[in-house]
C-alpha cells in the first residue's frame, strides 16, 4: 500500500522535468570533477590513452578529456542495471515497464561519488531498482526514494570513496533546478523553502553560540551542495512528499537542520545529506498522520 500517492498526470510529464532540471547540475559537477581528476590521472589509464589520440599535441586538454571520461562507465552501469531489473520484473509480472527506472538510474549516478567503481554502482543500482522501486510495486508505492536508498546502502557498504557526488558540486545549480521544477508545478515549493529556512536557522544559532562561528558557518555553506541536491531532487519526490502542507515545511526544515548538525560533528556533507534525508522521509508518514489528527480535532472544536 502506498504511503503517499499523489503523482499527477502521466509519469513522463513528471520524469522529464526532473531530467531537464538536473542536467545543468550534472554538467557543473562533471566539469569540476574533470578538472580535479586531470591533475592526478594515471599515465597508463585507458581514458588518457584514448584522449591522447584526440589531442596528441596538447597534454592538458588530453588529461581534461580523460578526467571527464571516468564517470561515463558509472552512468552506463547505473542505466543498464536499473533497466535490466525493471524489464525483468515487468516480464515476470506481465506489466508495462515502470518509466521511473531511468530517473532512478540518473539520480543514483548523481548521488554516488564519481571515483566509485562500476561494481559499486551496480550494487547500488540493484538496491535502488529492486528494493527501492520494484518490490513495492513501482512509481507511487515506495516509502523511500529509490536513488536515495541505493546511494545510502552504497555509502554504508563501501565507505572508502571520498569524492563528492556530481550532483552536490553546486548548491546554486541545485537551487535553480528546484526553482525551475517549482515554477512548472512539478514539485511543491514548501520542502525546498523549508530546507532553506532550516539551514538559515541552524547557521544563525551556530553564529550566536560559538565565538569562532563564522569560520564554521562559511565552511558549511561552501559544502552545502549535497544538501541542496537532496532538497531539490530527492525530498521532493512526488511519491514520498507529505500530503499535509505543514509537514512539507517540517520535512525540509528537519532535513537541513539534521544534515548541518551531522556535518558539525565531522561527517562528510554527502553522507550527512543522505542520512538526514532518509530519516526525514521515513518519519514523514507519521508526521502526516499526526498533522491529520490535529487538523481534524481543530475542525471539530472550532
What is the domain extent for residue 282? 167-300
pLDDT-derived band of residue 2, with 50, 70 and 90 as boundaries?
very low
**Average pLDDT, integer, range 245-258:** 94
**Average pLDDT, integer, range 96-107:** 92
245 inside domain: yes
- Residue 53 has a pLDDT of 66
Q: Measured between alpha carbons, how far is 240 from 117 in angstroms, rounded to an integer? A: 29
Q: Looking up cell 517540517, which residue turns up? A: 250
Q: Is-above-0.85 flag for pTM?
A: yes
Cβ partners under 8 Å of residue 82, min gap 6: 101, 102, 104, 105, 108, 125, 128, 129
Report the number of distinct structural domains present in the chain: 1
194 inside domain: yes
41 inside domain: no
pLDDT at 214 over 60: no
272 inside domain: yes
- Residue 181 has a pLDDT of 95
223 inside domain: yes
pLDDT-derived band of residue 78, with 50, 70 and 90 as boundaries?
very high
Percent of the chain scoring above 90 in pLDDT: 50
**Average pLDDT, integer, range 117-145:** 93
pLDDT at 3 over 50: no
CB 269 within 8 A of CB 263: yes
* Helix-helix angle 59-69:46-54, to 10 degrees: 130
CB 220 within 8 A of CB 263: yes
192 inside domain: yes
178 inside domain: yes
Q: Measured between alpha carbons, how far is 217 from 221 in angstroms, rounded to an integer? A: 6
Q: How far is CA 39 from CA 16, 71, 166, 170, 188, in A?
A: 35, 16, 18, 21, 41
Q: Looking up cell 569540476, which residue turns up? A: 32
183 inside domain: yes
Of 112, 224, 87, give the one whose Cα is nearest residue 163. Answer: 112
Amino acid at each position: 500500500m502506498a504511503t503517499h500517492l499523489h503523482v499527477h498526470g502521466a509519469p513522463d510529464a513528471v520524469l522529464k522535468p526532473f531530467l531537464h532540471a538536473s542536467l545543468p547540475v550534472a554538467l557543473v559537477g562533471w566539469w569540476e570533477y574533470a578538472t580535479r581528476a586531470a591533475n592526478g590521472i594515471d599515465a597508463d589509464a585507458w581514458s588518457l590513452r584514448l584522449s591522447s589520440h584526440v589531442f596528441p599535441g596538447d597534454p592538458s586538454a588530453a588529461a581534461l578529456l580523460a578526467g571527464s571520461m571516468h564517470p561515463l562507465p558509472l552512468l552506463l552501469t547505473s542505466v543498464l542495471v536499473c533497466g535490466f531489473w525493471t524489464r525483468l520484473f515487468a516480464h515476470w509480472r506481465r506489466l508495462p515497464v515502470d518509466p521511473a527506472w531511468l530517473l532512478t538510474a540518473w539520480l543514483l549516478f548523481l548521488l554516488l561519488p564519481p571515483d566509485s567503481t562500476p561494481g559499486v554502482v551496480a550494487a547500488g543500482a540493484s538496491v535502488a531498482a529492486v528494493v527501492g522501486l520494484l518490490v513495492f510495486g513501482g512509481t507511487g508505492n515506495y516509502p523511500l526514494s529509490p536513488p536515495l536508498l541505493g546511494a545510502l546502502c552504497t555509502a554504508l557498504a563501501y565507505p572508502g570513496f571520498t569524492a563528492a557526488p556530481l550532483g552536490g558540486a553546486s548548491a546554486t545549480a541545485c537551487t535553480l533546478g528546484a526553482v525551475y521544477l517549482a515554477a512548472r508545478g512539478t514539485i511543491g515549493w514548501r520542502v525546498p523553502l523549508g530546507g532553506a529556512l532550516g539551514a538559515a536557522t541552524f547557521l544563525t544559532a551556530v553564529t550566536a553560540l560559538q565565538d569562532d562561528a563564522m569560520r564554521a558557518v562559511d565552511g558549511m555553506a561552501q559544502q552545502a551542495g549535497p544538501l541542496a541536491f537532496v532538497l531539490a531532487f530527492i525530498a521532493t519526490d512526488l511519491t514520498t512528499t507529505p500530503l499535509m502542507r505543514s509537514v512539507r515545511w517540517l520535512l525540509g526544515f528537519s532535513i537541513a537542520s539534521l544534515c548541518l548538525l551531522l556535518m558539525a560533528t565531522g561527517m562528510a556533507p554527502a553522507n550527512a545529506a543522505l542520512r538526514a534525508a532518509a530519516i526525514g522521509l521515513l518519519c514523514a508518514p507519521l508526521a502526516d498522520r499526526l498533522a491529520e489528527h490535529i487538523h481534524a480535532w481543530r475542525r471539530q472544536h472550532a
